[in-house]
């Protein structure tokens, strides 16, 4: 007996008819249908079959109207060439499935004729291909993958080999999609051909996104949907971990910034100054950038603080910090290192005249803050400056002490003064 691909009918031939008990259809229902092979009818008239073959269609792995190829040896297992190897004994009708039923089991199936002509496709494959035009052939819609088997002879040499094989393919078209396929020889109602079951393999996530597939496009037993759920959960967890890492990094940066800032003025604190000073020394020793270090101490600040209170003193410190921000350049750095003391790191290889001019402008603006105060509480400022160009590389670490000594020289000179530290000779002498 042969079965009809895409039809749920059996045909009658000769003097016999299909057994009603075996197939659940009446002889009257078969009357008038075209003839089928005589051996099927004779087998039907032969009476009951041996136990194990009665009252039903034998499921041998034959799908979509696939029939056995002959009457040779029976397959040793259901996995042996998908049950399509010929069986011994009387003719066996196998299982009868229309394309629709096969599509529900194998949504990505592809049935080919012996020359590669497309006979039928599964519903999910049709979503990818569209409805193949009449006369469409396998090679019109699929390209062989360079990395996979089945690429010799234009990728179609396997049609001449009557044995199962695996293929690596690329779906041609506007959205190329990599596919895997298992091809087995089959016999359809129209004759021999090939049955392919296709899948996406590792490219399933891209295929689902690119072709807008859903779980309805996969067989119920296909683990692809479960894998996609796992991938989605993994992506969600990974995104949450990335977000957490970014939040932790942001919190770390914010905490570090707070640890390096003076809480009152917003300028850098002593720790920030020491870090910047060490980096400036390293760059100067590599002859990358000379710098100047200016140490500022406010004059008469204690009197203002004592007479008007700490709140007034704090307001004065904030105002001085704003002056420093406005007078220095973007590459420079200002810090409050304690009480009414500030330091400036002036980068860019300033000469002594340029460094002194910056400090004098700052003093003039500080003095303007206290013009309305009584004589004893008119705040001012004194500077001591040390230049890296005046020191050997090994002596740069002493610049802070040199600037401090120059500051006290300014205090001794009457306050509101800028003093440059004396250059230090290469032998370490020069500052007294």
Q: Is residue 52 part of a domain?
A: yes
331 and 349 share a domain?
yes
| CATH number of the domain that residue 377 is part of | 3.30.70.270
Q: Is residue 425 part of a domain?
A: no
Q: Is residue 54 part of a domain?
A: yes
The length of the chain in residues reads: 432
Q: Is residue 12 part of a domain?
A: no
Q: If DSSP codes are grouped into helix, strand and coil, which group holds residue 307?
A: helix
118 and 42 share a domain?
yes
Residue ending a domain, choose from 198, 232, 259: 259
CA distance 60 to 92: 10
CB atoms within 10 A of CB 53: 15
44 and 168 share a domain?
yes
Strands, sheet with 142-144, edge to edge from the N-terminal-most edge strand: 118-121, 109-112, 191-199, 177-188, 165-171, 142-144
The domain containing residue 255 runs over which residues?
223-259
pLDDT tens for 343-382 read 999 998 888 999 999 999 999 999 998 776 666 678 999 9
User: Torsion angle, CA of 405/409/410/415, rounded to 10 degrees?
Assistant: 120
* 340 a catalytic residue: yes
239 and 302 share a domain?
no
CA distance 7 to 13: 17
Strands, sheet with 291-299, edge to edge from the N-terminal-most edge strand: 333-338, 341-347, 291-299, 380-387, 418-420
DSSP state, residue 266 = -
Give the total number of structural domains in the chain.
Answer: 3
Residue ending a domain, choose from 239, 259, 279: 259
Q: Which residue has the higher pLDDT, 72 or 360?
A: 360
pLDDT tens for 74-123 read 333 333 333 333 334 444 556 678 889 999 999 999 999 988 899 999 99
Q: How does the average pLDDT of the chain come out, rounded?
A: 76
Look at residue 431 in the predicted model and tell me its pLDDT.
Answer: 54
Q: Is residue 101 part of a domain?
A: yes
Centroid of chain to Cα 22: 57
201 and 315 share a domain?
no
Look at residue 430 in the predicted model and tell me its pLDDT.
Answer: 54
Q: Which residue has the higher pLDDT, 58 or 216?
A: 216
Q: What are the distances in angstroms from CA 215 to CA 160, 227, 229, 383, 384?
A: 36, 11, 10, 76, 77
Question: Which single residue is written with the structure tokens 């001449």?
Answer: 160
Residue of 217, 297, 332, 340 with catalytic role: 340
Cβ neighbors of 167 (< 8 A, separation 6 or more) are: 144, 148, 149, 150, 155, 158, 180, 181, 182, 183, 196
CA distance 331 to 176: 53
Percent of the chain with pLDDT over 90: 41
Span 145-156, mean pLDDT? 50
């Amino acid at each position: 007996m042969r079965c009809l691909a895409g039809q749920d009918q059996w045909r009658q031939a000769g003097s016999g008819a299909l057994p009603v008990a075996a197939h659940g259809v009446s002889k009257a229902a078969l009357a008038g249908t075209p003839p089928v092979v005589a051996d099927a009818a004779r087998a039907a008239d032969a009476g009951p079959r041996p136990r194990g073959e009665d009252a039903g269609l034998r499921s041998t792995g034959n799908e979509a109207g696939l029939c056995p190829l002959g009457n040779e040896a029976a397959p040793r297992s259901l996995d042996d060439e998908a049950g399509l190897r010929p069986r011994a004994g009387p003719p066996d009708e196998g299982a009868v499935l229309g394309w629709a039923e096969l599509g529900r089991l194998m949504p990505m199936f592809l049935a080919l004729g012996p020359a590669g002509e497309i006979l039928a496709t599964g519903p999910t494959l049709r979503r990818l291909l569209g409805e193949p035009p009449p006369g469409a052939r396998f090679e019109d819609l699929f390209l062989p993958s360079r990395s996979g088997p089945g690429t010799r002879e234009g990728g179609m040499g396997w049609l001449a080999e009557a044995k199962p094989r695996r293929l690596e393919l690329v779906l041609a078209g506007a959205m190329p999609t990599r596919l895997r396929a298992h091809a087995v020889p089959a016999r359809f109602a129209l004759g021999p051909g090939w049955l392919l079951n296709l899948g996406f393999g590792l490219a399933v996530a891209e295929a689902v996104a690119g072709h807008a597939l859903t779980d309805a496009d996969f067989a119920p037993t296909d683990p692809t949907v479960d894998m996609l759920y796992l991938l989605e959960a993994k992506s969600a967890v990974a995104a949450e971990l990335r977000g957490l890492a970014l939040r932790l990094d942001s919190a770390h940066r914010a905490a570090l910034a707070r640890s390096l800032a003076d809480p009152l003025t917003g300028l850098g604190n002593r720790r920030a100054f020491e870090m910047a000073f060490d980096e400036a020394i390293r760059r100067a020793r590599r002859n990358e950038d000379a710098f100047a270090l200016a140490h500022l101490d406010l004059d008469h600040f204690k009197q203002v603080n004592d007479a008007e209170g700490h709140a007034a003193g704090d307001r004065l410190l904030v105002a001085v910090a704003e002056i420093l921000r406005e007078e220095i350049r973007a590459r420079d750095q200002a810090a409050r290192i304690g009480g009414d003391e500030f330091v400036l790191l002036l980068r860019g290889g300033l000469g002594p005249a340029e460094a002194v001019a910056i400090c004098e402008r700052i003093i003039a603006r500080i003095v303007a803050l206290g013009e309305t105060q009584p004589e004893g509480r008119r705040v001012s400022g004194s500077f001591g400056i040390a230049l890296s160009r005046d020191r050997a590389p090994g002596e740069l670490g002493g610049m802070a002490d040199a600037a401090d000594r120059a500051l006290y020289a300014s205090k001794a000179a009457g306050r509101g003064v800028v003093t440059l530290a004396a250059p230090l000779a290469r032998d370490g002498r020069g500052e007294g």
